[in-house]
Amino acid sequence: MVVATYGSHPWIATVYYTLDQDLNIYFLSDPNTIHCRQIAKNPKVAITIADSPQRPTSKKKGLQIFGLAKQISGMHKIIHALNLWRKTLGVTSEAYTYTGMMKKAIKGRMYKVVPKKIKFFNEELWDEGKEPTIKLSIDK
């Protein structure tokens, strides 16, 4: 997944992510990175998710998302997001646990993106410009 932020200038970063049944997106990142510092000042983010091995001549498939991001706080919320992230990505290292975070084994912290708008693109199903877009409530 690639997340784009805006502070004094636009910035993009590639992150490993997971999502829950409500379509919230979670990623782990160091709060001192440019994108996380910008999220702290401006929570509006743009995200793109695409199948990495797609060839330039292949039919494009992916998602474009606009949403609001924030660093997760509260032990139970962090544990939930981190466990979901670990399970999705097959991460087994004890460093990537809440305890590991608190012991500073990793610098990363969990972030949550609540999507506001999702555009689906799949050129096998929809012509360019005819892709479905859904708008979601951000009152979560």
Q: Does residue 130 lie within any of the structural domains? A: yes
Q: What is the pLDDT of residues 66-125, one digit of tens each?
A: 999 999 999 999 999 999 999 999 999 999 999 999 999 999 999 999 999 999 988 889
Residue 126 has pLDDT above 50, yes or no: yes
- Domain holding 106, by residue range, is 2-135
pLDDT > 70: percent of the chain: 98
If one counts the domains in the chain, the total is 1
pLDDT at 108 (0 to 100): 96
Q: Does residue 140 lie within any of the structural domains? A: no
Q: Does residue 74 lie within any of the structural domains? A: yes
**Mean pLDDT for all residues in the chain:** 92
pLDDT at 128 (0 to 100): 82
Residue 138 has pLDDT above 60, yes or no: no
Residue 140 has pLDDT above 50, yes or no: no
Chain-centre distance for alpha carbon 63:
12
Q: Does residue 66 lie within any of the structural domains? A: yes
pTM exceeds cut of 0.75? yes
Q: Does residue 14 lie within any of the structural domains? A: yes
pLDDT at 65 (0 to 100): 95
Q: The domain that contains 55 carries what CATH number?
A: 2.30.110.10
3-state secondary structure the chain: CEEEEECCCEEEEECCEEECCCCCEEEEECCCCHHHHHHHHCCEEEEEEECCCCCCCCCCEEEEEEEEEEECCCHHHHHHHHHHHHHHHCCCCHHHCHHHHHCCCCCCEEEEEEEEEEEEEECCCCCCCCCCEEECCCCC
Residue 3 has pLDDT above 70, yes or no: yes
